[in-house]
Amino acid sequence: MNETTQEIQSLEEFQEGMRFFKAGNYEVASVFFGELLERHCVLDEETRICRSWQGLSQTLAGDPAGVVQCRIACREGESRPELQLFLNLARAELACGDRARLMQALERGLALYPDSTVLRELHARYERRKEPVIRFLDRRHPLNRWLGRIKADRLRRNAVVSSGSESAG
């Protein structure tokens, strides 16, 4: 956490927003973060932090448009986004039910924070894909993709054959 983050988090509006957020009153928390964003945020980092918390609050309050605020917070600015911004984005994507975007957020966060146990645990929890056929190659490598398709086709054919033989007996 840098000095800018500490300064913005020490403001009364931010603390009130966090109190309402922790109490589960996301609509009111969103209002506090929005006011803070309008009145006090002059630096990129301050804007990103407030935009992220406002977006997460909006999303958890039932407004799926809030996730866009979280995405912007992770993309804008010249400096590297803080870890908390990726955690907020992941929570917002999860609340919207978009697993593909959730995994993107976690992978972007892990690219910047490879030592983050929280990001790694979340990634492991929501990862649905099996290990690549050739583990030392990236799963997007053409050879892994081709072998993966062959393996999936064989599994599907075996499943059809075994279900057909069970009904015949």
pLDDT tens-digit series, residues 99-157: 889 999 999 999 999 999 999 999 988 887 677 888 888 878 999 889 988 887 777 67
- CA atoms of 59 and 70, how far apart (whole Å): 9
Q: Are residues 84 and 144 in the same domain?
A: no
Distance from C-alpha of 29 to C-alpha of 57, rounded to nearest angstrom? 6
Cβ contacts of 44 within 8 Å, gap of 6 or more? 76, 77, 78, 79
HSE, side-chain direction, 13 A CA sphere, residue 79: 15
pLDDT digits (tens, 9 = 90+) for 131-140: 788 888 887 8
Pair 150, 111 in one domain = no
> What pLDDT was estimated at residue 41?
64
Look at the pTM and tell me if it is higher than 0.85. Answer: no
Distance CA 18, CA 65 (A): 20
Alpha carbons 70 and 89: distance in angstroms, whole number: 5
Is there a single domain that holds both residue 82 and residue 153? no
Do 58 and 90 lie in a common domain? Answer: yes
Range of the domain at 31: 3-128
The verdict on 79 and 17 lying in the same domain is yes
